[in-house]
Amino acid sequence: MALHGWRVRVPLSVVPAGGGRAVVRAVSSGGSPGSPPLVPPAKPKPGVVPTAAASAPSDEMVAALAHFVRSRQRLLVVTGAGVSTESGIPDYRGLNGAYSKGHVPMKHQEFLASVDARRRYWARSYAGYARFSAAEPNAAHRAIAALGCDVVTQNVDALHTKSRVPGAHEGVQESGPALVELHGSAHRVLCLRCESRLPRDAFQRRFASYNAGFARHLERSGTQEEGEGANVAPGMSSESSARPDGDVELGVFDYGSVVIPPCTFCGQDEGMLKPDVTFFGDNVPRATKDKVDGLMERADGVLAVGTSLQVYSAFRIVKGMVDEGKPLAIVNVGATRADDLATLTCNALAGTLMPALVKELAKHNI
Ligand SMILES: [Zn+2]
């Protein structure tokens, strides 16, 4: 396992007996006496709240995680919404997550079944996109990029892409770290008829031209909020209603008047354009699954970061690898679906622990 830009000496025979299933817990739920209170690493953006109380990472926790990482020749990192919360993108399941505010994400069948559902979706998504797309990678993304590992992310925010180190690339190739967006990217739009893909920025411009009155109304509302939350829905605070997928709550609005632009390639009308993301109730595309399988195969351990692993497409990765005798470590605030499978669980914010990990690994490489 090598840090990007450093060489790391890999110790031999450090995998615990029993195929790496021995439990070396570094969980600290309330913080030990004398440990500093949790302080977000940087001034959080409005609306960015840690999803739950997590202890600041102890030296012991950092050392245990560093040992785990050093012990792997090729580590696969699986990330979730918890790595993006400090970039201002809320998660679904945290204490302050979208679910706790009553948000019900769009389901695939609902989207397909009704043009009204698609109009409602696109109006809200259009409104939320400016803020969503302006998000920047945080310390967790940068630290994960520095590890130089293959990454599978459940996030559709492209923040790993924005933070990745030179040489990393989409998909899987013989060498170099790979990045697979398990559930797609909200920065692309897919035509369900001809399967063409359109950059989201281009779609946003087309949507605005087809819905000029609506777009102007949003703009006016945004400017009234002194720049914060610009381009969000009228009469609402973006912080309280933004979603992990860029969706926002528009309140009372006549969605029937929304026009979804036709596909620029095949001309399909009535809104068969969909963000290039896997909605709840849909399956991960076969090609994506195959890429993930390739990464699982070539890795000898897996690190889950900022994910509760509740979604099966992510859980099956760590479960499959553990079943193959490849050990699992978890960095997350709160319990996950795979805690019982893990060699090491660290109850910590990704944005705090991952940079500490990189620092610790670098110490031994000078
Ligand atoms: Zn089309």
3-state per-residue secondary structure call for 317-351: HHHHHHHCCCCEEEEECCCCCCHHHCCEEEECCHH
| pLDDT tens profile 162-201 | 997 555 555 555 567 999 999 999 999 999 999 999 999 9
Q: Residue 84 — pLDDT band, cuts 50, 70, 90?
A: very high
Instruction: Determine which of 34-48, 124-138, 238-252, 256-270 has the lowest per-residue pLDDT on average.
Output: 34-48
The overall pTM is greater than 0.85: no
Instruction: Determine which of 65-69, 102-106, 140-144 has the lowest per-residue pLDDT on average.
Output: 102-106
Compute the distance between CA of residue 239 and CA of residue 237 in angstroms, rounded to an integer.
5
pLDDT at 46 over 80: no
Most confident of 94-108, 270-284, 337-351: 337-351
Compute, in angstroms, the gap from residue 197 CA to the centroid of ligand 1. Answer: 8
Compute the distance between CA of residue 77 and CA of residue 148 in angstroms, rounded to an integer.
10
So which residues are the catalytic ones? 183
Compute, in angstroms, the gap from residue 186 CA to the centroid of ligand 1. Answer: 17
Compute the distance between CA of residue 96 and CA of residue 116 in angstroms, rounded to an integer.
29
Compute the distance between CA of residue 319 and CA of residue 67 in angstroms, rounded to an integer.
21
R_g over Cα of the chain: 21
- Hey, what CATH topology would domain 1-89+138-183+284-366 get? Rossmann fold (3.40.50)
Positive or negative torsion for Cα 173, 174, 180, 186: negative
> What pLDDT is stored for residue 47 in this prediction?
36
For a pLDDT cut of 70, what percent of the chain falls above it? 69
| pLDDT tens profile 271-327 | 689 999 999 889 999 999 999 999 999 999 999 999 999 999 999 999 999 999 999
Q: Is 110 exposed, middle or buried (0-12, 13-18, 19+ CB in 10 A)?
A: middle
Compute, in angstroms, the gap from residue 262 CA to the centroid of ligand 1. Answer: 8
Compute the distance between CA of residue 241 and CA of residue 295 in angstroms, rounded to an integer.
35
Compute the distance between CA of residue 35 and CA of residue 37 in angstroms, rounded to an integer.
6
End-to-end CA distance of the chain: 15
> What pLDDT is stored for residue 70 in this prediction?
96
What's at 261, amino acid-wise? P
- The 3 state secondary structure assigned to the chain is CCCCCCCCCCCCCCCCCCCCCCCCCCCCCCCCCCCCCCCCCCCCCCCCCCCCCCCCCCHHHHHHHHHHHHCCCCEEEEECHHHCHHHCCCCCCCCCCHHHHCCCCCEHHHHHHCHHHHHHHHHHHHHHHHHHHCCCCCHHHHHHHHHCCEEEECCCCCHHHHHCCCCCEEECCCCCCEEEECCEEEEEEEECCCCCEEEHHHHHHHHHHHCHHHHHHHHHHHHCCCCCCCCCCCCCCHHHHCCCCCCCCCCCCCHHHCCCCCCCCCCCCCCCEEEEECCECCCCCHHHHHHHHHHHHHCCEEEEECCCCCCHHHHHHHHHHHHCCCCEEEEECCCCCCHHHCCEEEECCHHHHHHHHHHHHHHCCC
Start-end ranges of CATH 3.40.50.1220 in the chain?
1-89+138-183+284-366
Compute, in angstroms, the gap from residue 159 CA to the centroid of ligand 1. Answer: 27
Beta bridge partners of 150: 76
Compute, in angstroms, the gap from residue 127 CA to the centroid of ligand 1. Answer: 23
